[in-house]
Amino acid sequence: MNKITAAVTAVGGYVPDYVLSNEILETMVETNDEWITSRTGIKERRILKDKDKGTSFLAIKAAEDLLKKNNTDPKDIDMVIMATATPDMPVAATGVYVATQIGAVNAFSYDLVAACSSFLYGMSTAARYIESGRYKKVLLIGADKMSSIIDYEDRTTCIIFGDGAGAMLFEPNEEGYGLQDEILRSDGIGRQSLKIDAGGSLLPASAETVVNKKHYVFQDGKTVFKFAVSNMADVSEKIMNRNNLTGEDVNWLVPHQANKRIIDATSKRMNLPSEKVMMNIHKYGNTTSATLPLCIYDYEKHLKKGDNLVFASFGGGFTWGAIYLKWAYDAK
């Protein structure tokens, strides 16, 4: 019997309609389009303006898009993994609600939280369930409503983040396609560099934490940038070396969309030309857990069966890693 690997068999995505451009941000904080573009590569980002809708709304939309495109019966899904940094609420798992709403009534579900690396870690987790032979269809969703935790008076963070969702369906494969290898890392040294101070058990919500804006994202940009550049590039190069891959062998780099300069540094270490690098940061900004699946969603029509893909990410905590995956189908 051939070895079972976990292959991606379908993708879906969703971004809100409202476009927050650099020009609009110029009217909100002291910044300008040239400054933002030269330092981040971002031109615009999508924002879910409806205050009555949370991350689950984005996730449901992306999942429904996948199910419709692939003509998949949600009752056939065994489990749903929800990768997010912005769950609807602290206790009731967002993924459980999403699974119920899309009709995945036979699936069990849970949330996976690892900041911007949530989806990458989720890919590893989904693959293990498939490789066990016990589960046949695992739906992995990455979604974040980052606008819910951003201070739009803080120009260091409000220029970076956007809202969106992406989804991938993993199924067993015996032809050698799917997830081949992974290098996943973490280091608590980054705990203070990218965080939200309040709302957890260490600093519960209070009138004081709200007044002092302790529920918004804080980022030490220089420290995060330094660690992201070195670590994301390191694991991407290592996974290539471990699998005897050259820049010619890799068809696509699928990088976390946090900063164009970080992406450029990673592709340079991998000896990849720009035409082999998936890039949509200019359209969406950093959608945190949704960046990797949204890249695949946007580039799906360019992917061919057997293509070698390297996924790479870096997030708060710090968390980071790289995954080598062989693409399993030609887009219709």
Active-site positions read: 116, 256, 286
CA dihedral 106, 6, 253, 25 (to 10 degrees): 10
Q: Give strand pairing partners of 59.
A: none
**Dihedral-angle region of residue 89 (phi above 0 means left; psi in -120 to 50 means alpha; beta otherwise):** beta
Inter-residue contact 122 to 321 (CB < 8 Å): no
Cβ-in-10-Å burial (0-12, 13-18, 19+) of 139 comes to buried
Tokens 């200019």 locate to 282
Provide the token pair at 91: 């206790």
Residue 240 CA to residue 178 CA, distance in Å, equals 16
Please state, in angstroms and as integers, the Cα–Cα distance from residue 254 to each residue in 65, 115, 140, 248, 300, following that order: 21, 17, 16, 15, 12
Provide the token pair at 306: 């057997």
Core vs surface per residue 244-263: b (16+ CB within 10 A) or e: ebeeeebbbbbbbbbbbebb
